[in-house]
Amino acid sequence: DAGITQSPRHKVTETGTPVTLRCHQTENHRYMYWYRQDPGHGLRLIHYSYGVKDTDKGEVSDGYSVSRSKTEDFLLTLESATSSQTSVYFCAISDLQGRVREQFFGPGTRLTVL
C-alpha cells in the first residue's frame, strides 16, 4: 500500500473557525491532490500540487487554500469553515515513474462543520 496518511481522521468544528487538514506521503511522489466526497457527487477535485510550492485550483476550490512546502506534505486550509464544507476529504498522490495508471488515496478525513 502507498504510504499516505491524513490527519486528523475526524474533526468537528464550528462555523467561522479555521481548519487545516494534513496529507503526508512517504512515496516521494510529485503530484498530490485534495478531493472532497459528498453523496450524489462522487469525488471532486479541490486543489492539486505538481511540486513544492506549485499548486493550482481544481473544480471546487472556493473557500479552500493549499500549501506545499515539502514534497511529503500537502496542507488543505479552510480559512473560515462553513456548513457546506462538511464532507469527507481525501488526499491522493501520483507520479511520473513507470506506467503510472492510478492515483493512490489516503484514508480520508471526515470533517463536520456545525
Partner 1 sequence: AQKITQTQPGMFVQEKEAVTLDCTYDTSDPSYGLFWYKQPSSGEMIFLIYQGSYDQQNATEGRYSLNFQKARKSANLVISASQLGDSAMYFCAMREGAAGGYQKVTFGTGTKLQVIP
Question: Where does this chain bind partner 1 (CB under 8 A)?
Answer: 31, 35, 40-45, 48, 50, 88, 90, 92, 94, 96, 99-105, 107-108, 110
102 neighbors 94 (Cβ within 8 angstroms): yes
Q: Which helix (H) or strand (E) is 45 found in, with range?
A: strand 42-51
Contacts of 100 (CB under 8 A, 6+ apart): 94
Q: How many CB atoms lie within 10 A of CB 111?
A: 21
Q: How far is the CB of 114 from partner 1 (least distance, A)?
A: 21
Q: How far is the CB of 76 from partner 1 (least distance, A)?
A: 17
* Closer of 14 and 56 to partner 1 (Cβ): 56
* Closer of 53 and 101 to partner 1 (Cβ): 101
